[in-house]
């Protein structure tokens, strides 16, 4: 059976416990290996890919984004639902809430971010007017409505290089530039998906107010705890979108 949908699980989303007929696959790509878990859900074959590896062993700046997207493409995936833990710069987007990201600001520094490196691969300048797939965002919005889950249906994601969290001065700058959320992984993932002609959407889970907006120091543990709290609803939302 063809694999149509890919789920890229971010921080706190490591196992595809909602899938049956599970099969692990190591896929070789020109960019390296990607480990993907195939499974079935209500008659559909899905590919699940934990972005940070099993047990969160790969930091955001070292994720092999090209191998991951290429592997999903080789499986035949046409739509990717990605999850992301994010800090919030926008007081309306509160910890525990979901945001269907619609724009990004790229503050990454040192990541391979294209499949098109010239020479044989060619030179391509991809359009980014609507970086996140409007159809998938609509499906997610409707699924959330049906489930009674409050979601923000737009938000600008600032992608930092990490792995450190931000300074309050950086957060204030991002806020003034129009950022709503901050995370470390959506770029180049969303860009590569577009280059691979895969429809891509992110469900961001707000885990904390970002540095300086919250008066408390931020820890990875706090991020994991909030993801654990939101996990059931996040899974319900994803699987309901898959079922559309
Ligand atoms: N900053 C960057 N990445 C994050 C944050 C944050 O505050 N929270 C969760 N991921």
How many other CB atoms sit within 10 Å of the CB of residue 163?
11
Contact 219, 87 (CB under 8 A): no
Contact between residue 153 and residue 137 where contact means Cβ atoms under 8 Å apart: yes
CA distance 41 to 227: 23
Please tell me if the CB atom of residue 208 comes closer than 6 angstroms to any atom of ligand 1: yes
Measured in Å, residue 204 CA sits from the centre of ligand 1 at 11
Distance CA 142, CA 181 (A): 22
How far apart are the C-alpha atoms of 140 and 29, rounded to whole Å? 30
ipTM of the complex: 0.99
Q: What is the pLDDT along the chain (244 residues), one digit of tens a residue?
A: 789 899 999 887 877 777 888 999 999 999 999 999 999 988 899 999 999 887 778 999 999 999 999 999 999 999 999 999 999 999 999 999 999 999 999 999 999 999 999 999 899 999 999 999 999 999 999 999 999 998 999 999 999 999 999 999 999 999 999 999 999 999 999 999 999 999 999 999 999 999 999 888 899 998 999 889 999 999 999 999 998 8
Q: Is the pTM of this model over 0.90?
A: yes
Q: Could you tell which of 161, 170, 207, 215 is best to mutate to test the pocket of ligand 1, judged by most ligand atoms within 8 Å of the CB?
A: 207
Tokens encoding 110: 């040192």
CB 81 within 8 A of CB 201: yes
Token output for 39: 């499974």
């Amino acid at each position: 059976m063809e694999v149509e949908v890919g789920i890229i699980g971010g921080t706190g989303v490591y196992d595809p416990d909602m899938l049956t007929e599970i099969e692990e696959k190591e896929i070789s790509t020109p960019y390296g290996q990607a480990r993907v878990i195939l499974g079935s859900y209500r008659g559909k074959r899905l590919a699940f890919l934990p972005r940070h590896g099993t047990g969160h062993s790969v930091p955001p700046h070292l994720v092999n984004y090209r191998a991951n997207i290429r592997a999903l493409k080789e499986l035949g995936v046409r739509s990717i639902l990605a999850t992301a833990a994010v800090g919030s710069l926008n007081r309306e987007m509160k910890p525990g809430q979901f945001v269907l990201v619609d724009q990004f600001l790229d503050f990454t520094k040192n990541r391979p971010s294209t499949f098109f490196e010239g020479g044989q691969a060619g030179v391509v300048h991809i359009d980014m007017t609507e970086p996140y797939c409007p159809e998938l965002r609509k499906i997610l919005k409707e699924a959330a409505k049906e489930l009674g889950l409050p979601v923000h249906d737009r938000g600008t994601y600032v992608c930092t290089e990490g792995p450190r969290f931000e300074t309050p001065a950086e957060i204030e700058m991002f806020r003034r530039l129009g950022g709503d959320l901050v995370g470390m992984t959506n770029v180049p993932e969303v860009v590569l998906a577009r280059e691979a002609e895969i429809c891509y959407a992110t469900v961001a889970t707000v885990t904390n107010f970002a540095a300086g907006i919250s008066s408390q120091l931020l820890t990875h543990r706090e991020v994991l705890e909030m993801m654990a709290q939101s996990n059931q609803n996040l899974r319900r939302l994803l699987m309901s979108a898959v079922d559309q």
